[in-house]
Structure 1
Amino acid sequence: MSLASLPLPRRRTWHWSLIVPPVLLLALATGAALGETPIPLGVVLQVIANKLLGAGFPVDRIDEGIIWNYRLARAIVAACCGAGLALSGLVLQALLRNALADPYLLGISAGASSGAVAVTVLGLGGGAISLSLGAFGGALLAFVFVALLAHAAGGDGNIGSGTQIAGVIILAGIAGSQLFNALTAFMIAKSANADQARGIMFWIMGNLSGVRWPDVALVVPAALLGTLACLFNTRALDAFTFGSDSAAALGIAVRRVQFGLIGIAALMTAVIVSIVGSIGFVGLVIPHAMRILVGTRHGRLVPASALGGAVFLIAADVISRTLVPGQVLPIGVVTALIGAPVFALILIGGRTGR
């Protein structure tokens, strides 16, 4: 098959419009129903109907408060974060042609951690800046640092081929991660007391406990923007599978697509990290798992990865709330405990399949 015969996204993606909504709604309802105190799925649906449609079903007020004020908002944020991280990993793996690329490759997680620590430990902003806002600012600062470093390494932007661009971005991201991780460790060691250090470490490992509806209003637009951008560029992502030179031969604006989609991935990750902290393995494992299930064409892979990431993180959140009775685990611990063995199986399966 020639490169010019690559299918347009809409040829094989129409069925996802029928698959994604019911599966996602079922996952959200299940995430709102499960917890230390399970609530029947029918009650969850009645609460949603009462709040959105004014249905007037008789529902216990305690159950209604748990579902609407706590679990449903948490499930929506988990779904958006999972979808955003999975799509960010998918984009970076395609554009950088690196199977180990994930959303934190660009130093965004490290920068967000530094911003959160600066607000919490150093009192940056004099109490006017929240932890999430500080983390978002740190994430953007880290991305700007990495982008400027990559640009400077290219010598006025003349980095060379697409492969060289990818290599420079990866190296700049590693340098940025190390720098901001060092800043975080320095601030904690110098200024944090025991309680602050414990709280920061819990947040760094990923934490959905504090999310509420205002966080939904922030993360949903970011996830939708990233999903639409990826769907719009599925043909370009397919072309990058054969290399940047082949993509350029097909008329793809290589640098514009690379920096545009990487920038969107960075923005999504910055928003996610600023709300829930660092959650590993989602952006690394989900794209690889979806390639096994639906193939390598991004017309199918983009919606599959978004859905897979959303369902996976909802399930991980439920496990984090129920695995240890009376205690909520950092969600990053759960994703690592699940993601590391799964990724190992994918690696072994890929090796034996060759």
Structure 2
Amino acid sequence: MISILSVYIFGCIVSLFLCIFDNKSKVGFIFLFFYFFIFSIVSRFSDYGVDFLVYRDSLYIPISIMIDNFYYVKEFLYWFFSRSIFVLTSSEAFTFIIIDMLFLSFLAYILYKKNVSLLFGFLFLLFFCSILGFLNVYRQFLATILIFCFSCLLIETGYIKRSFVFLLSLFLHNVAILFFPLIFLGSKKNKVNTLYFIFSSLVVMALTILFSDTKSQTDSAGVFGSNIFLFILFVLFLIILLLDKFRISQKNINKYIVCIYVLILSLVSSVLMGEAQVKRIAMIGLIFYLYYIYMSIDSTFLKYERIFLKLILVFFVLFPFFISSSLRSFLLL
């Protein structure tokens, strides 16, 4: 039987190939779709991570019982939806494959429509933050796709569409509320939007203080300490500045607002909240930073410079699996 590790290694090889022959064609994204599909099938017919067992077991809880428990109601979109699919399929594996492909297909479609090169689609899934989510902290992974879309990919889209995507992410995983202020970023800059962004950012920071005593007892991203996550965020922010040659303009201002917001939010959370919450926020933020680094490389440098920098980026994405046996263990499920 094909293992998760073998499919992951295949994705790594394809990524190295795309460093030289990257493209944005429809055929390329159809190939990405089938890679996502194969990764999903192999993963869902393998063993589950410890936290993933919660999602498996929840499939057997009737919605009538979930309705009486606020834990399920506050993030009803995932719990009710997954249960409904399970009732139709009577299969754990097929239930998760259907959910996987709904979200990964949406991601691939948005990447294609926004003219993002194929390589980033592979890097998104191969990045350790995504692997941890896909194979363990599942709801966070699904919510991250939507948070990433309304915060980065759809930032030039109208408020109604982005607000809809935000609401979907919120009812998948309530961590999305911390990224709500990014809704007010966009191509149209005015005083009202700026005030909304500032006010909502202050509200979010106040919420972190209000819920500072609500510290998660489980740490699903225990492969690295929260300080390591914060350090990586800071280093990647400096790399983004270097790639842009420290030039901040009207054209890239949204990128820096998002990066600085994530950095401040992570720092505030590190002081007020638990280890698990800090990592949760940082893992989502790292996806943003990976995207911005990739787009800076793809749009700023000459061909051979792009190839060299993309190769470095691929090795950065893969490096955590070389140094962490805990991460590698997920690929050996």
TM-score in terms of structure 2 length: 0.29
Larger relative contact order, structure 1 or 2 (CA cutoff 8 Å, min sep 6) = 1
Larger radius of gyration: 1
